[in-house]
Amino acid sequence: MTDIADRYRRHADDFESKVAAVRPEQWDNPSPCARWSARDVVGHIVVMHGVMLRPLGRRPSRAPSVEKDPLAAFRAARADVEAVLDDPGLAAAPCETPSGPLTAEQHIDRVVSDDLVLHGWDLARATGQDETMPADDVERMWRGTSAIPAEVMEKFRTPGAFGPGVEVFGAEVPVPEDAPLQDRLLGLIGRDPR
């Protein structure tokens, strides 16, 4: 198993535990993502797992909808991505992405694996769970995100730049330079950590 597969499984475990902890009456709670409820956060994660399959000519497995059973929907999406990561040929397959050519496992790592951490924070904030992200993930994502060139970051902040309704990052939220790194990362991607 690769470091990428290990990291994905760790992130998926953490996100799944957050989904499982949501109480039925919390699914409509607003999240830090504008116009998204807690259920919408999980829906986004499930949809993005499907997006990771497209360059490989694969489709998501049949599963309950996020509306009906968010936990089962996530588990099915997770299984689809893990099947790619567990197959060396699929994991190494070349994919054309908005960030340029990547292997399938690199694409998964840079998109849905990191999304599980960031949107895990959104889900935790929406439902009153522990919002602490793993420090090593925060440091790794900070290094990568803060190094994105300004012109690329501008595209990431432009709604619809990667397709209808797609917004990668929101407008940067000012955070003090001496704030914890998690808060600075959240501010950089458009979340208000306060």
127-175 pLDDT, tens digit each: 999 999 999 999 999 999 999 888 888 888 887 777 666 678 888 999 9
Task: Give the residue-averaged pLDDT of 116-127.
Answer: 97
How much is the pTM? 0.93
What local confidence, expressed as pLDDT, does residue 151 receive?
86
CB 55 within 8 A of CB 63: no
What local confidence, expressed as pLDDT, does residue 98 receive?
75
145-148: which pairs have CB atoms within 8 A and are 24 or more residues apart? Answer: 145/185, 145/188, 145/189, 146/188
User: How would residue 79 be classed by pLDDT, with cut points 50, 70 and 90?
Assistant: very high
Task: Give the residue-averaged pLDDT of 113-120.
Answer: 96
User: How would residue 1 be classed by pLDDT, with cut points 50, 70 and 90?
Assistant: low
| Tokens describing residue 151 | 């012109």
What local confidence, expressed as pLDDT, does residue 2 receive?
84
Which of 8-22, 58-72, 101-115, 155-169 has the least mean pLDDT?
A: 155-169
What local confidence, expressed as pLDDT, does residue 154 receive?
86
CB atoms within 10 A of CB 191: 22
What local confidence, expressed as pLDDT, does residue 33 receive?
87
Domain boundaries, the chain: 1-112, 132-194
Chain-wide mean pLDDT for the chain? 93
Burial-class residue 62 by CB neighbours within 10 Å (0-12, 13-18, 19+).
exposed
